[in-house]
Chains A and B, each alone.
Chain A
Amino acid sequence: MNLALIFLITIFSFSLFFYGRSKSKSLSIENNYKLNALPKFYGYYLVLWCSLPSLVFLLVWTLFEPTIIKSIILKIAADQGVVMQDQNAANLIYEKIKAVYLGTYFGDVDILLKESSLSYAKFKNIFTNSKIVLIFVIVISSIIYALKKIKSNNKARDDVEIILKGLLFISSLIAILTTLGIIFSLLFESIKFFSVINIFDYLFGTNWSPQRAFVRDASSITAAEYEDLKDAFGFVPLIAGTAFIAFIAMLVAVPVGLFSGIYMAEYATKKIRKVSKPIIEILAGIPTVVYGFFAALTVGPFFRQIGENFGLTVSSESALAAGLIMGIMIIPYISSLSDDVINSVPQSLRDGSYAIGATKSETIKKVVIPAALPGIIGSILLAVSRAIGETMIVVMAAGLAANLTINPLDSTTTITTQIVMILIGDQEFDSPKTQSAFALGLTLFIATLILNYIALRVVKKYREKYD
């Protein structure tokens, strides 16, 4: 329905382009005046006026129609005597009514339900019809307005450009809307979560086992039940596991990435650079699910085999395997950023060092790296934020059970793994278990935001110093 309307509006407005163009031309000849803009701009003007208001109206209508119909139907149903204890029951009844209307409901249909579905059909019809009529009215009136403007020989180009500039501005607002969407969707569920679980029990609890949290009704938990619950959502093992795996990853990524960055910037001939830089950057382009597969199926069992040979018990989901592979994934982030940073250190610093007899490596160690240090630290911070937000490698190669350990051969879990494990498959909404995933998401979001903010500040400060 909506697609057909959009299609009709689009076709109609595009055909209006030719009308607007020829109309403005003939008007200028008839009345013998000079047009204030090229004729095609009058065409565009008409197109914009015909399409934009009606499409915006359609969008708004489509967003609000379901909620309005729902409240009307539920009100009618309640008046007829359908009992609804709370919001959830009401939602369920509404879904039933809709299913009866669509013919996809296979339970018993009583009279009340039948009547409700009939009134649903009636209102749906009324709304659809009034939508079509209103769109028609809007299209006609905006065309009349636009034509009047054209007749008065407006500055069509300026008007079109103002509208287009508005469109450009709105597109750039999508970024803000996305951020708001993220913040609200995370906060919304997190607040519900923290209304049940005390935020300090979450932040400082040392036990994470959300599968224990079978709560039918989150709003009425007794103190005894809470005693049991508060111990299920302890954040400490998760942040410890995340930090631990990220630390192992950085142990791999920082030396390898930094040294390749240094070599690329200072030693490599153009030829070597041209070949090796893109190959290293391939590492950044490989989907993380591929790394996860490799870590889980090849590296994990490989380490276990080696461990067995030395008489060690290595978990096949060891933190070491996940961390190592994550480190390799991160190498290109560090190497290319530090390459850039080192390249932007002024040559005069190096020349000064060479002039007093230092070798190349001494110059790099004593002059170039200290000068580039803020930038390098920034790139490492960015890499850390990548590592803690990375999901697929740890979901596939790290463990599922929260385990407070510093043994790299043991299995441990991370924030992202737990989010995926909680939300995979069907979720029971309004249970603290599901909401805890959003709380974890919020924590992760804030942590990466802070890391990125610091990193960008450090890099920017450093850039200013040498620009």
Chain B
Amino acid sequence: MTKEQRLIKRHRAEKRFQFYGLLSIFIALLFVLVLVSNIFSKGSSAFMKTVIKTEVFYDQELLEIENGASRDDIISTDFFDVTIESLLEVFPTNGLEEEKQLINLFSTDVELEIKSVFLKNNNIIGQKIILELTASDDIDQLHKGNYPRDLPEERRRISDFQLKIFDQLVEDGKIKKNFNNYYFTKGDSRDPELAGIGGALVGSLYSILICLILSFPIAVLASIYLEEFAPKNKITEFIEININNLAAVPSIVYGLLALQILLSTIHLPRSTPLVAGITLALMTLPRIIIPCRASLKAVPPSIREGALAVGASKFQSVFHHVVPLALPGTLSGTIIGLAQALGETAPLILIGMVAFVVDIPASPIDPSASLPVQVYLWSESAERGFVEKTSATIMILLSFLIVMNFLAVYLRQKFEKRWN
């Protein structure tokens, strides 16, 4: 091989090497794109729900209440007959089986929906009102085009008769897509069309608040101690090793800790945001302490010496001068730590947040779910409708994380002083 050939070969190797590097970055970027677009394409339809325009006749004979009835009377009244009669008007049926199929086009809460209209306006006895009633999950998915209608009938959950009704309704313009208010306001449900993230959202909010209240002050105080006051001795060194190790402990181990100490030993209530918050706080603490210390360390010694020189005590120099300067870095570290805590799932599963909770928690000691746990729970469900619900929940979760991370970056770039 001549010198020239060798040189060409070496230059080719150079090109190849550079290409591998670019390729790796490209693969990573591609994956981000695929993941995000996959989730968005699956999830965005969950923000709309299918409704069926139905004429409801508030028949006095069936309801047995008067116009202007009190709230309690209405709540105790049985709206079942009115509901059935109104639904059967939608399409002519023949026999019980077909009636059942027709009724199954609507969500299981349809009676409640009809009742709640009456609750809002109790002067509609004897009137016919066109309502937009929530459709069942199957119809919802069919309407959104997620349902394979070309399967043979015995492999479908929707019968041919139901398909016929659906097509007729579409032709009559009675099927519509509305904003899915249930998804944001309701708690969990076994029926996808009625399931919402209200409970999980509130649960996550409580957990993160408790986590913030517990971890932020302790982390800041601990990092101030370690960075500014701690003598160089064995105890300090031991604390530092501990903090570094804790930051690397798998999160599930914190779940075991919470299960054993918080639930079995001091008997805090299971499945609650309180326990979740404490667990997340323990987990987040070292992850906040590390950036806090880094930002304290970044404040140049001249600041401290300046304060000391004009007669400030050590405390005053730290709390009046160093801490305010380190605050932007501290805050952004805290926000990033909280963002991690918000997405944490495994320890919450161990403390029982996977319980099926329909109600929206009113306080941090009520059982509740949290956003990531809700994702896990719904992804285990077989119903087709939960796929879009899960993806939509991931979209919400990711948007929270993006906002938090941007806030962290903004705080750092806007307020942090550069010293060199």
A→B interface (CB under 8 Å):
63, 66, 157, 161, 164-165, 167-169, 171-176, 178-179, 181-182, 185-186, 188-189, 255-260, 262-264, 266-267, 276, 279-280, 282-283, 285-294, 296-298, 328, 331-332, 335, 359-362, 364-365, 382, 385, 388-392, 395-396, 416, 419-420, 423-425, 429, 437-438, 441, 444-445, 448-449, 452-453, 456
Contacts and interface: CB of A to CB of B under 8 A. Distances in A.
A280 to B, nearest CB: 5
Given A186-B253, A290-B39, A452-B248, A392 B346 contact: yes
Contact of B246 (A169, A178, A290): A178
In this complex, the member of A168, A328, A420, A452 whose beta carbon has the largest number of chain B beta carbons within 10 angstroms is A168
Contacts of A286: 35, 343, 398, 401
In the A-B complex, the 4 residue pairs with the smallest Cβ-Cβ separation, listed nearest first, are A389-B250, A287-B343, A263-B21, A185-B260
Given A175-B239, A364-B17, A391-B345, A259 B23 contact: yes
Nearest to A364: B17
A288 to B, nearest CB: 7
Query: Chain B interface mostly helix, strand, loop or mixed?
Result: helix
Contact of A420 (B24, B38, B350): B350
B30 to A, nearest CB: 10
Contact of A361 (B13, B24, B28): B13
B243 interface: yes
B239 A176 contact: yes
B366 interface: no
Give the size range of B's interface with the partner: 35 or more
Given A290-B343, A361-B16, 6 more contacts: A175-B242, A293-B391, A331-B28, A423-B259, A445-B249, A452-B244
B399 interface: no
B379 interface: yes
Contacts of B32: 279-280, 282-283
Interface stretch (B64-72, B86-94, B176-184, B217-225): B217-225
A429 B14 CA distance: 62
23 contacts: A63-B266, A168-B225, A169-B230, A171-B218, A171-B221, A172-B221, A181-B257, A259-B25, A264-B25, A285-B340, A286-B343, A289-B375, A290-B343, A360-B18, A362-B10, A362-B14, A365-B17, A396-B379, A396-B380, A419-B350, A424-B350, A438-B256, A445-B250
Contacts of B18: 263, 267, 360-361
B31 interface: yes
A441 B20 CA distance: 39
Given A182-B253, A276-B29, A444-B253, A165 B229 contact: yes
A449 B245 CA distance: 7
B46 to A, nearest CB: 14
A381 B364 CA distance: 39
Interface in B392-420: 394, 397-398, 401, 405
